[in-house]
Amino acid sequence: MIRNNYIGLLFLSVVMAVIPLFISNVYYLSILIFIGIYSLITIGLSLLMGYAGQISLGHAAFFGLGAYASGILTTRLNIAPIPAAIVACLFTGLVAFLIAVPTLRLRGHYLAMATLGFGQIIYVVFNAWIKLTGGPSGFGDIPRIRLAGICFDSDFKYFYLVWSVVLVGFLLAIHIVHSRIGRALRALHSSEEAAGTLGINTSRYKIEIFVVSTMYASIAGSLYAHFVTFLSPESFGISFSILLVTMVVFGGRFSVWGAILGAAVLFSLPEYLRVARDYDVLIYGVVLLLVVMFLPGGLAGWLDGMARRISLLFISRAPKRMKC
């Protein structure tokens, strides 16, 4: 029920509001900031992959488009960060729309390869259009965000900024899931033919949700740009696209909560394992393989199953769930 989600969201908001007061080490704050930024992308991606059943192996490119657009608009054209981020978001959405129209007619492997191809093309452009993007050496000096007189230059302040955006994005996603749009998406995922005969314009909805997911990625990119203040194309290649898919699959692609879980666990996993930054690739590969083979619902699905089993132990009759 949507009410459960509201309660969960309220709980999460309170927790996130309070956490920074207890963390003295800035390093942990920055980890939480990255988790927030990545969660924003995975929330959008889970709408696309879990609910609509499509796949995108090129989402890092849209993250990059948002980041570079924000960076370029604020450094070269001196536009303020917030309007720049909005423009970047609209621009990314437009690019995504143009890509989506021919691409989403494809299915399965063809769709996956096409998204991979687009992601790579955009990555090549980041590297090759040196005048605009600075090429492989990247470009920096991206200004901080100023809002209502506050300059977001410390990790402490940035944490609140990022997580406010994440929680709003999360709320919107939950609303979409629990609406006729969400049901239409799940319907077209389950049987595109049957969905069509019930009046659902499957092409239009696939395109719409694709564009929405890229806009989430773009906003995350803008937040990223103003946080790290230096961009280089490496962060926006195939590896990151696959990492994003891993996060969604691991967290549980059928759940928006799973998106945050996936980002949180997988981003911090290499930290816990004290593994060199490079070997996270190997870990992600193993995780992806194991989750897909043994835990189709991901972590969230597993937890949900556990919770249901535990509640069955305590309640004699399972309550009729009218999930919406």
Partner 1 sequence: MALLEIIDLEKKFGGLTAIDRVNFEVEAGQIKALIGPNGAGKTTLYNVITGIFAPDAGTVRFRRREITGCKPHLAASLGLARTFQIIKIFKGMTVLENVMVGRHLKSQATLPKAALRLPAVRREEKAIRETAARFLDEIGLKNRAGDPAQNLPLGQQRLLEIGRALASEPKLIMLDEPAAGLSGPEIRSLACLIRGIRDSGVTILLVEHDMSLVMDISDEVVVLDYGRKIAEGPPREIQNDKKVIAAYLGE
Partner 2 sequence: MTLGSQILQYVISGISVGSIYALVALGFNIIYNTTGIINFAQGEFVMLGGMIAASLVGIFSVPLPVAFLLAVLIVTAAGALFERLAIQPLKNPSVLVLIIITIAGSILFKGIAMFIWGKQTYFLRSFSGDIPINIFGATVLPQTIWILGITAVVVVLLNVFFNFTLIGKAMRAVSSNRMAASLVGINVKKMVLFSFALSAAIGAVGGVIITPIALMDYERGAMLALKGFAAAVLGGIGNFHGAIVAGLLLGVLEALGSGLISSHYKDALALMILLLVLFLKPSGMFGSAQVSKLKEF
Binding site for partner 1 (CB under 8 A): 172-173, 175-176, 178-184, 186-187, 189-191, 193-203, 208-209, 212, 254, 320-324
* One residue of 102, 149, 199, 319 binding partner 2 per CB under 8 A: 102
Inter-helix orientation angle 238-251/256-272, to 10°: 120
In contact, 175 and 3? CB cutoff 8 Å: no
Q: Which is nearer to partner 2, 174 or 291 (CB)?
A: 291
Binders of partner 2 among 34-73, rule CB under 8 A?
49, 53, 55, 57
Residue 119 CA to residue 270 CA, distance in Å, equals 25
Q: Which stretch binds partner 2 (CB under 8 A): 10-18, 103-111, 157-165, 306-314?
A: 103-111
**Residue 221 CB, nearest distance to partner 2 (Å)?**
21
**Residue 175 found at the interface with partner 2 (CB under 8 A):** no
What is the rounded distance in angstroms from the CA atom of residue 208 to the CA atom of residue 201?
11
d(CA 246, CA 104): 21
Q: Which long-range contacts (CB under 8 A, 24 or more apart) does 283-292 make?
A: 284/242, 284/243, 284/246, 287/246, 287/250, 288/242, 288/245, 288/246, 288/249, 288/250, 291/249, 291/250, 292/249
Query: Helices 26-46 and 256-272, interaxial angle, to 10°?
Result: 140
User: Taking the complex as a whole, how short is the minimal distance between the CB of residue 273 and partner 2, in angstroms?
Assistant: 14
| CB of residue 195 to partner 1, shortest distance in Å | 7
Residue recorded with tokens 């300059």: 151
Number of neighbouring beta carbons within 10 Å of residue 274: 6
Q: Which residue number, 137 or 179, has a Cβ lying nearer to partner 1? A: 179
Site for partner 2 in 213-272 (CB under 8 A): 238, 242, 245, 249
Q: Residue 255 Cβ, how far from partner 2 at the closest point, in Å?
A: 16
Chosen residue from 18, 77, 293, 322 binding partner 2 by CB under 8 A: 293
Contacts to partner 2 by CB under 8 A: 49, 53, 55, 57, 102-103, 105-110, 112-114, 116-118, 120-121, 124-125, 127-128, 238, 242, 245, 249, 278-279, 281-286, 288-289, 292-293, 296
